[in-house]
Amino acid sequence: MTTPHTSRVRAGVVGATGYGGLELVRLLAAHPAVELTYLAGSKDGGPDFTEWFPHLAGVIEAPLHAFDPAACAERCDAVFVALPSGASGQVAAELWERGRRVIDLSGDLRVPADLYRAWYKREPVDPAVQTAAVYGLPEWHRDRIAEATLVANPGCYATAILLGLLPLAVAGWLSPAHPVLVDAKSGVTGAGRTPTLNTHLGELYENFFPYKVGAHQHTPEIEQELGRHVEAKVLLTTQLLPVARGIYAVSYVTLDRAADVGQVYALYRETYKHAPFVRVHAPGRVPQMKHVRGSNFCDIGLFVDERTGVVQVFSVIDNLTKGAAGQAVQNFNLMHGLPETMGLAGGPMFP
């Protein structure tokens, strides 16, 4: 139950009625340093949030508001904005300009204006706001996030793929002469709550298919982050699974040197030895989606095909937790000087 506490950070969620927003509410309601003071979403508002979402009865007691920026800024010290791309960034910018710490879960603040226009097919927010936003991948930008007042939470696919690829890129083992091929699969909650033909049960059940072939909007942020260390082109194929939640990404990387799986494994273990939410599987083991379901973990498995010189990197996350709400809370903790794991220590749900 959320109760007032003077030492808690007053936090709000705008977009609380979407899948990512609901996951934020679930996590923040149990966060010991948070007082949830404002919830707004696509609904018209009402006396009790749990009238719309009974599964949170007994977990939170709060009204659902029609969004009002002045009221939100007055009631909150920090705000999570979990609206669709195209709307989220504008709201995040307005609340940030009102002096609030803001974490935006959409794609609106992740890449520069030119890339945003090319991949998202719409006009970006003020480029100055995009420039001010810190890319919120905690394992790689921890110090910058700790000083930030505006954070662009990474995309779900990008999170899984970057955590899998950055150790090779930073070590200089990723060959720039070859594209990185990524085969990534997601649960249907990644498409949001608004129904479409492809996400209809009758269409998706017992089915499996790629979408946004060669055009997925997470591609530029992946290349942007890899590009801080090595010139890399990424060919990303995203596919929809008939499951609710989870992302499974397999990246195929050509190395610029000979290395066996033991050496690659040692590199990853050393890279992530201080990353509480990244678990690297020993050689011979690969992760499964249920290994991370409902948690903030990213599990990584590795295989080196010495015949072709290709490394297969298997990375798996829960798209709503580490891929969205959990990572946002992780960023919130860093921004407020709190332990990085606070409110996120629960283990995965299995089976």
Taking only the tens place, the pLDDT of each residue in 247-277 is 999 999 999 889 999 999 999 999 999 999 9
Please state, in angstroms and rounded to a whole number, the distance separating the CA atoms of residues 125 and 111: 11
Q: Residue 211 is encoded by which pair of tokens?
A: 């979408």
- Give the N- to C-terminal CA distance of the chain in Å, as an integer: 27
Phi, psi of 104 (to 5 degrees): -100, 125
Domain boundaries, the chain: 9-153+324-336, 157-317
Q: Cα dist. 205→4, 45, 247, 293 in Å?
A: 44, 33, 17, 20
- Residue 31 CB partners (closer than 8 Å, separation 6+): 329, 342, 343
Note the pLDDT of residue 47. 75
CATH class of 9-153+324-336: alpha beta
Note the pLDDT of residue 5. 41
Note the pLDDT of residue 43. 60
Note the pLDDT of residue 45. 63
Q: Residue-wise over 9-18: b if at least 16 C-beta within 10 A, else e?
A: bbbbbbbbbb
Sheet holding 9-14, edge to edge: 34-40, 9-14, 78-81, 101-104, 150-152, 134-135
Matching CATH number, 157-317, of 3.40.50.1100, 3.30.565.10, 3.30.360.10, 2.40.30.170: 3.30.360.10
SS3 177: coil
Q: Residue-wise over 320-344: b if at least 16 C-beta within 10 A, else e?
A: bbbbbbbbbbbbbbbbbebebebbb
SS3 236: strand
Note the pLDDT of residue 195. 84
Cα four-point dihedral sign 19, 21, 23, 29 = negative
- Residue 202 CB partners (closer than 8 Å, separation 6+): none
SS3 134: strand
Query: Whats the size of the chain, residue-wise?
Result: 351
Q: Cα dist. 321→35, 200, 243, 267 in Å?
A: 20, 23, 15, 26
Give strand pairing partners of 317: 247
Residues catalogued as catalytic: 156
Note the pLDDT of residue 303. 98
Q: pTM for the whole thing?
A: 0.95
- Residues of the chain with pLDDT below 70 are 1-6, 42-45
Residue 158's Cβ-side half-sphere holds a number of Cα atoms within 13 Å equal to 27
